[in-house]
Amino acid sequence: MTEMETVSRLLHELWPLMRSLTGDGVRQTHAKLSDVVPLDTFEIPSGTEVFDWTVPDEWRFKEAYVIDPNGNRILDASVNTLHLVNYSMPFSGTVSLDELKEHLYTLPDQPNAIPYVTSYYTRRWGFCLSHNMLSTLPEGQYSVVVDTEFLNGGMTLSEIVLPGDSEKEVFFSTYTCHPSMANNELSGPLTASLLAQRLSNRKKRRYTYRFVFVPETIGAIAYLHRKGEHLKKNMVAGYVVTCTGLDLPFTYQKSRQGDSAADRAAEFALEANGEPFNVRDFVPFGSDERQYCSPGFNLPVGSLMRGPYNTYPEYHTSLDNLDMVTPANILKSVDAYEAICDTLEQNRTYLNLRPHCEPFLTKHNLYQTVNAATQRAQIQTILWLLNLSDSNHDLVAISKRSGTSLQELSEVATILSNASLLKQLD
Amino acid sequence: MTEMETVSRLLHELWPLMRSLTGDGVRQTHAKLSDVVPLDTFEIPSGTEVFDWTVPDEWRFKEAYVIDPNGNRILDASVNTLHLVNYSMPFSGTVSLDELKEHLYTLPDQPNAIPYVTSYYTRRWGFCLSHNMLSTLPEGQYSVVVDTEFLNGGMTLSEIVLPGDSEKEVFFSTYTCHPSMANNELSGPLTASLLAQRLSNRKKRRYTYRFVFVPETIGAIAYLHRKGEHLKKNMVAGYVVTCTGLDLPFTYQKSRQGDSAADRAAEFALEANGEPFNVRDFVPFGSDERQYCSPGFNLPVGSLMRGPYNTYPEYHTSLDNLDMVTPANILKSVDAYEAICDTLEQNRTYLNLRPHCEPFLTKHNLYQTVNAATQRAQIQTILWLLNLSDSNHDLVAISKRSGTSLQELSEVATILSNASLLKQLD
Amino acid sequence: MTEMETVSRLLHELWPLMRSLTGDGVRQTHAKLSDVVPLDTFEIPSGTEVFDWTVPDEWRFKEAYVIDPNGNRILDASVNTLHLVNYSMPFSGTVSLDELKEHLYTLPDQPNAIPYVTSYYTRRWGFCLSHNMLSTLPEGQYSVVVDTEFLNGGMTLSEIVLPGDSEKEVFFSTYTCHPSMANNELSGPLTASLLAQRLSNRKKRRYTYRFVFVPETIGAIAYLHRKGEHLKKNMVAGYVVTCTGLDLPFTYQKSRQGDSAADRAAEFALEANGEPFNVRDFVPFGSDERQYCSPGFNLPVGSLMRGPYNTYPEYHTSLDNLDMVTPANILKSVDAYEAICDTLEQNRTYLNLRPHCEPFLTKHNLYQTVNAATQRAQIQTILWLLNLSDSNHDLVAISKRSGTSLQELSEVATILSNASLLKQLD
């Protein structure tokens, strides 16, 4: 199966699942993602204290719908998961239209859209529908069925760790708690899965790669509670993978540090790519970088997006659907994240072992016998590497200064290392 | 009496006094300013050595005028104090027009203006007049009376200290040595007095506020000789209050340090105000910041002006008069200086006490039940405060980063402190 | 003899000499330059190891030419030294046109120009000619004479050291290995010689001045091998003097450090001069700054040029001749380098000995009795010097801040030092 087919199949299989902070919808989602790369899935018990938070009761969803006065089944969550307010408490009974309306949510400004509403920490039940549909509801008695249950279960998290030559890690976090929406969020876990698959197929990885799949906020907090100190010690660069599916220019949101290795690699890779892109500063009300970049951790975690949350009108509604998000869009994001990984893998720091004057390149057989134009460029690359390899300049810095690609610098640096003129640091 | 009435009355009462480096004109001026806020006045004896300088003899002025050949009393200092060269030595006698002219000063380029001339450190006598009047003086004998006296007296300085919760001080210095001119200088001591009055009426002051009223240069030097080490130890921010009376945009002159707390607060308050303003760098030939910012002290002293000395044509002439300087202009400067004080008072630094991930705001009752738009903004303010309160960002920095007003940040920070999520530093 | 006559005579006398890395052409060149200032000439034996390099065999040139099938002597190095590939191995024999062509070098894109070709580290022989001439060579047998010899001799270097009050050195390096070309290179050693002559005529030098004349690359490397540690210890500022002869705006190439004393002085002097100029960053493939700025030395060595190598079409061809480079052009470069020396000589750092408040200038007789306009400017100069002489600002910094010329600051600083208000540091 091609990557395109994998993404296409998963978009459709994952679409109807009732994802939430907890529950079988999440478990099924992680199981399907495990077809792409094998995830290590684990549960954190309800009631576990994680920093200032408590893991909530598990929410079990069976079915939810309303029977209108004419006997028609409407607002059926099996038709669209968004119809049910996520984490609704159980209810069964007959109510008047006025009573029902106290439990209905619409978007008057977007009358065609069903809103996405959650009620994680206040127990209530409710249904979401388009504002247009609301006006068509007839007077009369409505029969309501919300067959859900809260139980002392667990919260489902998954991860995959791809070991590399170094224990230093590149980190990716994505979330799997949103039901039937496409850019936010199916694009995120699919981008992460495909990227993990590609990296798992590599014969050689310099860094260890860690991918985590968690419910947003509480999941990231629980993960940090377990692994925060490990990440502080080992993380070279990290990214929150979300909103990667729209056909828009890339937006890179910097880590809180603002000039971390994550930021330098992402901006470098985007510049090398050549297409226009946006960069914005960290703000503390985005996605899970809120937790990773909280001041107690301050991890080097940025986020590369195509159509960030809150910036497109379909966000958090039923209009954020599979018409907007194509497999090709998602794979382009996989490419971009892979280019960042390549930048991190290639960005080394060298030390000139003969720092007094230039070495005599002829003696080291470093004058190639190809045509003059190529030779001249290669000699300049050699001279940049020798001159700036003083332990203060990595290859990204030398690339920016010299205009030579990272790939070319990396290859020539290997030649110079083999000639004992450079030594790789770190 | 309203502030407007106070300023208006004082402008007219202070106008005719023969101010100078020393003498009764200064004492009367300080006494009248004491009606606004009670000043602590003290004298430094003539002959006292202060750094490289010596406090000069006290100058006592009784009267000064000339009788022209026609018997008319002209150049009478009781009509305009500027007619007498300030610090003139005593003289009484009859001179020819030619002899008299050796003692006359005019401004040929501003023929309507009487210049302001001083002779502090060379003993001579002289009169100032408009160039137009000079050409009308008839030939003949002139009778000159300069009834002044030098004596071993004192130099008059005043100050008021408004204690605050902290011994750290905000400092204001203004000068009272210029006779009948309005922008430079009556605007300065009036602005300082009114500001002191407002601050003295406050029930709570975080900082101690110190206002000093001194003759320019020698007064500031004498004050620094007494209190320089105290100021070095305690001054948070300081300002030279002068030239605050013209109907022009504000000009803020930075302290020599260039990025001191004084500069940050002044520029922040001016930006928050929203009106256009100018900022200029410190230069060592302005007013008393020359002394406060001399390299041995290098205090954080800037100056907020409206129509700085040397930049308007009426400067140091009889045209710098009460037509140009209105009480409303002066009170606008009081407002601006008070906004700077508010900035300093409100600009605190906090430490996030739960720095690992966001706290669970619901648990701390920090989700208000007001309408969503307001709540969203307040939540963002909370998140900015929590995220950036790492001891490296004060509220001014968080305000610049977040676009939230200092007032809003200050209020929310207090809420978060009460919830034990933040702790105030310093 | 005027400077103009000296430069003119030397341009013509040095033009025909067969300069190279080594040999009598270099020795004769240095001997002629010694007429301007007496150079201390020394030899480094062939085979000496200098860092990664080995000093090559000495190349002795007697004559080189070709006899064409019609008996005409062509490509005669005594007509133009560029006809012979520099460092050609000896050869004598008769060859066909096709065989000869394997040893001929032309520039098809510049058909009128004879290229400059060297073969220092590969033993071969060859001739250079214009592409136009190549097409006129008839078929037939050619008699070739390359009367050269490699021997275990030496490489010729020269220097002159002009002692100053301080052991700290200002350094100039120029090269003398290019045969008959004018901008690159005769302009360089002539500019250096004339500058050395001017400085040697000065009665007082604050700094020691060192001028070195070396073959490019291997000469600079050999010099650094001998004197590198001395230069690291003593060099205040250095410059590679090359390509100073074209009638173009100055281009200053910064040292690798980018903000060294060499860079500050050069940019300051160029700004003070007022003519437009260019500044460019260090690149590791220019001239001998490649060696001086290698990371093991990282000396403060920049280069001031008029028409840098590689940027003009006549570079490294017979068209880089005396039509392009006039004595006036060269002397303008001498002027510019001398202005840099003046900047370095005048740029001192002072400490205010009365840093608390301004001193009482009247007491120190620092109020001059000249006209008011001049006095005001001088007082401002005094106040700038007193205020910024806190050991962190040198005169160049004070000049930039105040807009006062270095000359004026230097004179006033001397007055203030004599008045015991300033003390010169370093």
Instruction: Name which of B21, B50, B51, B316 to mutate to probe chain C: the one with the most chain C Cβ atoms within 10 A of its Cβ.
Output: B51
Chain B's closest residue to A289, CA to CA, is B357
CA distances from A294 to A363, B384, B387 (A): 54, 10, 6
Inter-chain touch B386–A294, beta carbons under 8 Å: yes
Residue C424 CA, chain-centre distance (Å), reads 32
Looking at the complex, does the CB of residue A359 fall below 8 Å from at least one CB of chain C?
A: yes
**What is the C-alpha to C-alpha distance for residues A129 and A131, in angstroms, rounded to an integer?**
6
**What is the C-alpha to C-alpha distance for residues A58 and A54, in angstroms, rounded to an integer?**
12
Angle at CA C1, nearest 5°, toward C209 and C330?
55
Inter-chain touch C290–A352, beta carbons under 8 Å: no
* E-only strand ranges, A122-207: 127-128, 141-151, 154-162, 169-175
Size of interface A-C (CB pairs under 8 A): 62
At B370 the pLDDT is 42
- Cross-chain CB nearest to A52 (options B363, B379, B384): B363
B387 neighbourhood in chain A, CB within 8 Å: 256, 284, 290, 293-295
Query: pTM of the prediction?
Result: 0.92
Phi, psi torsion values for C84, nearest 5 degrees: -95, 130
At C370 the pLDDT is 43
Q: Could you read off the pLDDT of C60-105 as tens digits, one per residue?
A: 999 999 999 999 999 999 999 999 999 999 999 999 999 999 999 9
Inter-chain touch B356–A51, beta carbons under 8 Å: yes
ipTM: 0.93
| A211 within 8 A of A172, measured Cβ to Cβ | yes
| B331 within 8 A of B11, measured Cβ to Cβ | no
Looking at the complex, does the CB of residue B53 fall below 8 Å from at least one CB of chain C?
A: yes
- Cross-chain CB nearest to B357 (options A121, A256, A294): A294
**SS3 label, residue A5:** helix
Inter-chain touch C52–A386, beta carbons under 8 Å: no
Looking at the complex, does the CB of residue B121 fall below 8 Å from at least one CB of chain C?
A: yes
Angle at CA C384, nearest 5°, toward C378 and C388?
155
| Residue B392 CB neighbours (<10 A) | 9
Average confidence score pLDDT of chain C = 96
| Residue A49 CB neighbours (<10 A) | 10
Looking at the complex, does the CB of residue B284 fall below 8 Å from at least one CB of chain C?
A: yes
Q: How confident is the model at residue C369 (pLDDT cuts 50, 70, 90)?
A: very low
B356 neighbourhood in chain A, CB within 8 Å: 51, 224, 228, 294, 296-297
Burial class from Cβ neighbours inside 10 Å (0-12, 13-18, 19+) for residue B59 reads buried
For residue B282, the one-letter residue type is F
The H or E element containing residue B349 is strand B349-352
Helix, strand, coil tally for chain A in percent (to 5): 35, 25, 40
B359 neighbourhood in chain A, CB within 8 Å: 51-52
Q: Could you read off the pLDDT of B96-107 as tens digits, one per residue?
A: 999 999 999 999
Average confidence score pLDDT of chain B = 96
CA distances from C117 to C98, C107, C211, C318 (A): 20, 11, 28, 11
C380 neighbourhood in chain B, CB within 8 Å: 284-285
Phi, psi torsion values for A184, nearest 5 degrees: -115, 80
Query: 């997006």: which residue's tokens?
Result: A305
Alpha helix positions (H), B274-367: 289-292, 327-346
Query: 């006006």: which residue's tokens?
Result: A135
- Cross-chain CB nearest to C51 (options A357, A386, A388): A357
C296 neighbourhood in chain A, CB within 8 Å: 352, 354-357
**What is the C-alpha to C-alpha distance for residues A64 and A79, in angstroms, rounded to an integer?**
10
**What is the C-alpha to C-alpha distance for residues B112 and B317, in angstroms, rounded to an integer?**
10
Inter-chain touch A360–C284, beta carbons under 8 Å: no
Looking at the complex, does the CB of residue C290 fall below 8 Å from at least one CB of chain A?
A: yes
- Cross-chain CB nearest to B356 (options A121, A217, A294): A294
Q: Select from C389, C414, C391, C415 the least CA-distant residue to C402.
A: C389
Residue C268 CA, chain-centre distance (Å), reads 19
Q: Select from B284, B287, B289 the least CA-distant residue to B302.
A: B289
Inter-chain touch A52–B360, beta carbons under 8 Å: yes
| A186 within 8 A of A71, measured Cβ to Cβ | no
**What is the C-alpha to C-alpha distance for residues C141 and C70, in angstroms, rounded to an integer?**
9
At A377 the pLDDT is 84
Averaged over B173-178, what is the pLDDT? 97
**What is the C-alpha to C-alpha distance for residues C319 and B412, in angstroms, rounded to an integer?**
76
CA distances from B50 to B56, B284, C244 (A): 11, 20, 57
> Per-residue pLDDT for C373 more than 80?
no
Q: Which two tokens stand for residue A25?
A: 């919808």
> Per-residue pLDDT for C372 more than 70?
no
Of C41 and B372, which is predicted with more confidence?
Answer: C41
Looking at the complex, does the CB of residue B274 fall below 8 Å from at least one CB of chain C?
A: no
Inter-chain touch A220–B379, beta carbons under 8 Å: no
- Cross-chain CB nearest to C360 (options B53, B225, B284): B53
Chain B's closest residue to C392, CA to CA, is B295
A367 neighbourhood in chain C, CB within 8 Å: none
The H or E element containing residue A406 is helix A406-418
CA distances from A49 to A221, A229, A289 (A): 10, 17, 21
CA distances from B296 to B277, C234, C354, C359, C381 (A): 31, 32, 8, 12, 19
Q: Could you read off the pLDDT of A340-379 as tens digits, one per residue?
A: 999 999 999 999 999 999 999 989 988 754 456 667 888 9
Query: 């030899």: which residue's tokens?
Result: C43
Beta strand B235-240 with B154-162 is unpaired
Q: Which two tokens stand for residue B364?
A: 């701390």
Contacts of A207 (CB under 8 A, 6+ apart): A164, A165, A166, A168, A169, A170, A236, A344, A345
Inter-chain touch A358–C228, beta carbons under 8 Å: no
Query: Which DSSP letter does residue B420 get?
Result: T
Q: What is the pLDDT along chain A (426 residues), one digit of tens a residue?
A: 899 999 999 999 999 999 999 999 999 999 999 999 999 999 999 999 999 999 999 999 999 999 999 999 999 999 999 999 999 999 999 999 999 999 999 999 999 999 999 999 899 999 999 999 999 999 999 999 999 999 999 999 999 999 999 999 999 999 999 999 999 989 999 999 999 999 999 999 999 999 999 999 999 999 999 999 999 999 999 999 999 999 999 999 999 999 999 999 999 999 999 999 999 999 999 999 999 999 999 999 999 999 999 999 999 999 999 999 999 999 999 999 999 999 999 999 999 999 999 999 989 988 754 456 667 888 999 999 999 999 999 999 999 999 999 999 999 999 999 999 999 997
Instruction: Name which of A356, A357, A393 to mutate to probe chain C: the one with the most chain C Cβ atoms within 10 A of its Cβ.
Output: A357
C384 neighbourhood in chain B, CB within 8 Å: 284
For residue C8, the one-letter residue type is S
**What is the C-alpha to C-alpha distance for residues C231 and C170, in angstroms, rounded to an integer?**
10
Query: 């920070």: which residue's tokens?
Result: B413
**What is the C-alpha to C-alpha distance for residues C184 and C181, in angstroms, rounded to an integer?**
6
**SS3 label, residue B169:** strand
A54 neighbourhood in chain B, CB within 8 Å: 360
**SS3 label, residue A190:** helix
Chain C's closest residue to A353, CA to CA, is C296
**What is the C-alpha to C-alpha distance for residues B17 and B147, in angstroms, rounded to an integer?**
16
Averaged over B179-185, what is the pLDDT? 94
